[in-house]
Structure 1
Amino acid sequence: MAIREILTVPNPVLKQVSEPVEKVDDELRALMDDMLETMYDAPGIGLAAIQIGVPKRVIVMDLARENEPKQPRYFVNPEILWTSDETFTYEEGCLSVPEIYDAVDRPARVKLRYLNYQGEQIEEDADGLFAVCIQHEMDHLNGVLFIDHLSRLKREQAVKKVKKLVRAA
C-alpha cells in the first residue's frame, strides 16, 4: 500500500469524467487499498480515484468516527438508481479543495448499486451522512466538485484560496 498525492483545484484532471471499471481484480484492489491509506492519511471520509489522478469509477469511504473501529467501504462503478424529493443540507468539505467548507443541498436519501471489494453487486439505500458522502464522491466521477454547487463568486474565492494554500505549502 502507498499514500498517493491528492490533486487539488484547479487541476484539470479533476474535471475529467471517470471510465467504468471492467472487472474487480487484484490490481484494482491494490488501487483501492492505496486510496484508503491515502484517505486515512489526509484525513478524510471519502475519496474518488480521480482525486489521485486515476480516471476510474472507484470510491473508498469510511464514515466511522475517530473513537470507533474503522469501517472501510468500497464502491466500484456506483450508480444512483433513485433519489428522494426531500433534500438535506450539509456543510461539505473536500480533500481536493482543502480548508473550504460550505453548505450543499442534496437529495436526503438515495438507492445505489455498485460492485464491492470482491466484485459482488450490491444494492442499498443511503441516508444522512452516507447519502451526502456517496453523492459527493459520485460527483467526482463525473468531473463535478462540491464547489460547483455553489455560486460563481464563492467557487472563484475557494479556488483562489486553495491556490494560495498550495503555493504556501
Structure 2
Amino acid sequence: MRNRPIPGSSGRVRPLSLLGDPVLHAPCEPVTDFGPELHGLVEDLFATMYAARGVGLAANQVGVGLRVFVYDCPDDEDVRHVGHLVNPRLVAADGVEVRGPEGCLSLPGLEAGTSRYDRAVVEGTTVAGEPVSVTGTGFFARCLQHETDHLDGVVYADRLSGWRHRKLRRAVARSRWS
C-alpha cells in the first residue's frame, strides 16, 4: 500500500464567500481544463474546508465559479466519505424526505431545518477527468445535495419558506459577518 498525501496538505486556505456575495447565487461553469490549476483548486478547497471545520465545500464558496466540490463527510452509520467531484450533477435524490438541521460555511454559525432526501447519487469526474459516481445516504446524502445546490447557485436558505425562512433572515441580520 502506498502512502497517499492527506487531501489539502499542499493547499492554501482561501477566504470564504458569505451569504450575499453574488458568486453564491450564480450557476457555476463546467470545468474544461483538467490541468494543474484544477488540482490546486481541489487542494485549496480541502485546506479551506478543514480550516473552517466543514464537511463539504464548493468552489464558488471561495469565489471560483467552477463546478467543483470536495467533501469529508460521515453518513448516518459513521462511515467517513472523502473525495471530490468535478462537473457533478445530481442524478438521483430519493427515498424518505427528511427535515434536519443544515448549516453552511457561507452562513457561519447558523443552521435551519431543511428538507432533503435521504439518498442521493451524484455523477461527475475526478480531477484527472475519470468518470465517477458517488452514492450517499443519510447525512452524506444531505451533503451531496447541498454541495450540488451550491454549484447551481442555490444556498440552503433559498430552500426555506415561511417561519423558517424569516427566522434565518433575522439571524443573518444579527450575525457579525452580515
Range of TM-score over shorter length: 0.7 to 0.9
Q: Which residue of 2 aligns with 1:39?
A: 49
Please state how far the C-alpha of 1:128 moved relative to its aligned partner.
Answer: 0.9
Q: Does 1:156 pair with 2:169?
A: yes
Q: Does 1:93 pair with 2:110?
A: no
Q: Call closer, same or farther: CA 1:158–1:12 in 2, change over 3 Å.
A: farther
Q: Which residue of 1 aligns with 2:149?
A: 139
- Cα RMSD of the aligned pairs, angstroms, is 2.0
Q: Which residue of 2 aligns with 1:126?
A: 136
Where 2:64 maps in the other structure, the secondary structure is: coil
Matches within 5 A, 1:52-131: 52-63=62-73, 72-131=82-141
Where 2:18 maps in the other structure, the secondary structure is: coil
Deviation string, structure 1 residues 102-148 (Cα, Å, up to 9, x no partner): 11111111222111233210123221111100100111111111111
Q: Which residue of 2 aligns with 1:166?
A: 177
Deviation string, structure 1 residues 20-79 (Cα, Å, up to 9, x no partner): 1114222101001011001100111100000000000000110159xx9x8631111111
153-162 or 23-32: bigger deviation: 153-162
The letter of the residue matching 1:5 is: P
Please state how far the C-alpha of 1:4 moved relative to its aligned partner.
Answer: 0.3
Q: Distance in 2 between matches of 1:64 and 1:87?
A: 19
2:21 to 5, 11, 16: 11
Where 2:29 maps in the other structure, the secondary structure is: coil
Q: How many residues are aligned here? A: 162
The letter of the residue matching 1:93 is: G
Percent of counterpart pairs with the same letter?
36
Q: What is the TM-score of this pair, normalised by structure 2? A: 0.83
Displaced runs of 4 or more, over 3 A: none
Residue segments in structure 1 that go unaligned for 5+ positions in a row:
none
Higher helix share: 1
Q: Distance in 1 between matches of 2:52 and 2:134?
A: 28
Q: What is the TM-score of this pair, normalised by structure 1? A: 0.87
- Does the Cα contact within 8 Å between 1:18 and 1:143 map onto a contact in 2? yes
